[in-house]
A and B are shown apart, each in its own frame.
Chain A
Amino acid sequence: MNPAFTASPFVGQTFGVTVTKLNKQFGRTPVLRDISFEVKPGEIFAIMGPSGSGKSVLLRCIAALEVPTSGEVRIGEFDAADPATRDKVHLALVFQAGALFNSLSVYDNLALYPREHRLCPESGIRERVMHALSILSLEKAAQKFPSELSGGMKKRVAIARALVMEPQLLLYDEPTSELDPVMAATISEIIATLREQMAVTSIVVTHDRSLALTIADRVAIIMDGRILATGRPDEFKHTTDPAISNFLNPVIDLKNPRFKQLENHHE
């Protein structure tokens, strides 16, 4: 466990998420087909799938950044699509690329939410921001701008920004993508610890097998816009489903016919 973690002062009610018969089409292309699942309050729920399987679109539908073609997402008892839900549920989304405000320093990125919502005076905001930065060992980066940060630091700043919101539902979009294995492990620890300390419901979209199978309470496998299976991580370790097995335990085969074909093409 990362020693930099301290007990978090962020406490609050948590909400479960219920997705019912969700469909999403872009033009005539279906991206999500009849997706249904339930995430219990305080749970870490991982959504795994290959690139282009619709994971991020699903997360954006939960965050109400995309309007579903049909179906419903409920956060607790509230309809996620209702703008009033944002006033009732503190939902934070950690974007894949961080989505930090490039014209603001790290400190101001974190201070934006409490300032805009007038949650406390500037001294309180400072305390809150510095606490979130200290949880993620980012105190020295407070005055830096996002362009001066490494990929791993950007992800941690994005998580710190989410923490300042005191979220009741925390969504992560590919939190370990483009990171080295050590940083990926640190981010996984952070996600698990935040759930432990804040009892926050977390939905993690990832194709990182070790992240999903290590920290998640339950995992859903999504392929081609459909949920193939949902279950505890240990249920997937010895799966007999060839599609899931092939995704979770890919074998690098240099005698693969596709590889041969490519080789011949170059000749």
Chain B
Amino acid sequence: MKYLSLVLENIGGTLLLMVRALKYAPTLPRQFPRFIEQCYLIGYTTLPIVTILSFFIGSVLALQSGYSMENFGAKQFIGTLVGLTMARELGPMMVAILVTGRVGSAITAELASMKVYQEVDALVTMNIPPERMLVLPRLAAILVMMPILAIIANLCGWYGGALVCQYTHFISVDSQAYFAALKRFMEPKDIVDGLLKAEVFGFVIVLVCCYTGLSTRGGPREIGAAVTKAVVASLILILVLDYFVTKALLFTT
């Protein structure tokens, strides 16, 4: 019962934070330098790891599917499988997991330390709402950067798969055939759905991490605990939401 009330309190607190932050949306043009700074932190610094991991995920996907599909003569559809899986599922999911670990943890640590060392209280006494200064620029930045990162993840995954198909002796599907299969069965909706997922995941990650950081009480030890809590909660939420968002998108024309 105590655990349930804690979960409900956290959900309520996170939703309240979202409402309060969005209330200041008209002030976003004034927050432009902070927005750009957050775009850099969220997008640019995460880009190398997204590129490398997506490339190898696409490669492994092609390798595994090539190994299985070769048995029943369906090698020509590897491009379709890698293309759809990356665009609809693995691209946004991988980006969300990487952003949680790389950016979400940093957001929680920064805000929790500001809370513990009374910097957030100082903002409140200066009549500067923390939701406006600390949460809103991060929310806006993640909404801009997540689709960009997801598109880059898709492209890297597709090219990783293409390289593996071309140069692995038991697959031997050339790039032209691979990309032709990828295009044949893929619709713009598949890519848009993936990008929408990325947006939802990013929004949730920032909200959960900001809320956890801003609700931290205690000392330096609690900052570490807050980071762990935020990362675990974000990952669970991403996986649970993935199911519901996928289901909703599959039945939406």
What is A's interface to B at a CB cutoff of 8 Å? Answer: 60, 63-65, 86-87, 91-93, 95, 97, 99-102, 112-113, 116-118, 165
**B residues near A97, Cβ cutoff 8 Å:** 117-118
- Bound state CA distance, A97 and B124, in angstroms? 16
What is B's interface to A at a CB cutoff of 8 Å? Answer: 30, 114, 117-119, 121-122, 124-128, 133
**A residues near B118, Cβ cutoff 8 Å:** 95, 97, 99
**A residues near B119, Cβ cutoff 8 Å:** 99-102
Is the beta-carbon distance between B122 and A63 smaller than 8 angstroms?
no
> B134 to chain A: closest CB distance in Å?
11
- Bound state CA distance, A111 and B121, in angstroms? 17
**A residues near B30, Cβ cutoff 8 Å:** 118
Is the beta-carbon distance between B127 and A99 smaller than 8 angstroms?
no
Picked from B114, B117, B125, the residue with its CB within 8 Å of the CB of A91 is B125
**B residues near A60, Cβ cutoff 8 Å:** 121
- Contacts A97-B117, A99-B117 given; indicate if A87 touches B125 (C-beta within 8 A): no
Binding site secondary structure of chain A: loop
Is the beta-carbon distance between B122 and A99 smaller than 8 angstroms?
yes
In the complex, which residue of chain B has the Cβ closest to the Cβ of A66?
B121
Total contacts A to B, CB within 8 angstroms? 42
In the complex, which residue of chain A has the Cβ closest to the Cβ of B121?
A65
Is the beta-carbon distance between B121 and A99 smaller than 8 angstroms?
yes
Picked from A64, A101, A117, A118, the residue with its CB within 8 Å of the CB of B122 is A101
Is the beta-carbon distance between B117 and A93 smaller than 8 angstroms?
no
Q: Which of B30, B121, B127, B128 has the most CB of A within 10 A?
A: B127
- Contacts A93-B122, A95-B122, A116-B133 given; indicate if A102 touches B127 (C-beta within 8 A): no
**B residues near A112, Cβ cutoff 8 Å:** 126, 128
**A residues near B114, Cβ cutoff 8 Å:** 101
Picked from B117, B125, B133, the residue with its CB within 8 Å of the CB of A63 is B125
**B residues near A65, Cβ cutoff 8 Å:** 121, 124-125
- Bound state CA distance, A60 and B120, in angstroms? 13
Is the beta-carbon distance between A87 and B127 smaller than 8 angstroms?
yes
- Bound state CA distance, A91 and B133, in angstroms? 19
Picked from B117, B121, B125, the residue with its CB within 8 Å of the CB of A92 is B125
**B residues near A117, Cβ cutoff 8 Å:** 127-128
- Bound state CA distance, A91 and B127, in angstroms? 9
In the complex, which residue of chain A has the Cβ closest to the Cβ of B126?
A113
Is the beta-carbon distance between A86 and B122 smaller than 8 angstroms?
no
> B136 to chain A: closest CB distance in Å?
13
In the complex, which residue of chain B has the Cβ closest to the Cβ of A167?
B125
**A residues near B117, Cβ cutoff 8 Å:** 97, 99, 102
In the complex, which residue of chain A has the Cβ closest to the Cβ of B27?
A116
In the complex, which residue of chain B has the Cβ closest to the Cβ of A109?
B122
